[in-house]
Amino acid sequence: MLDKSVVAIVQSDWAKAVPIADTAATLFYDRLFALDPSLRPLFKSDLGEQKTKLMKMIGAAVNGLDDLSALVPVVQSLGRRHVGYGVKPEHYVTVGSALLWTLKQGLGDAFGRDNEAAWTQVYGVLADTMKESAQPSGAAGPAE
């Protein structure tokens, strides 16, 4: 279960990131491909649509943190779909690093240690849920 204070921090940070969504998405993908250039072929050459999808997905996840019982099945489905795109479990670490870096760049001094810890916890729960659902058994339970 996620602590309400953690959820509040992440949701507050996201509200600050929404106005810079286009810039944030560009920062994210630039950083992702700098960290692991082998990920670039997993995406279409034109990232415009992908950037929009990313920001919508993060927004939906962040807004859904108040009701994990409804969010978990959506995240599990996303994890299963990502296997088909070529995503491997180790890619989640790189994505998490790129996400935190992007938030630090976009929010500046407003993104302190407590913010990083909150996002790390939330991303960990969501990434673990996605990875578990991607296992061949697909029988993973909800994240807590």
Give 70-86 pLDDT, tens digit per residue. 999 999 999 999 988 89
Q: Taking the C-alpha atoms of 125, 72, 37 and 28 in order, what is their torsion angle to the nearest 10 degrees? A: -80
Please give the angle made by the CA atoms of 25, 27 and 30, to the nearest 5 degrees: 105
Q: Which tens digit of pLDDT belongs to each residue from 94-144?
A: 999 999 999 999 999 999 999 999 999 999 999 999 999 988 754 444 444
Q: What's the CA gap between 69 and 125, in Å, rounded?
A: 13
The structural domains of the chain, ordered by start, are 4-133 (1.10.490.10)
pLDDT score of 45: 86
Q: Which tens digit of pLDDT belongs to each residue from 27-50?
A: 999 999 999 999 999 998 899 999
The token pair at 102 is 């992007």
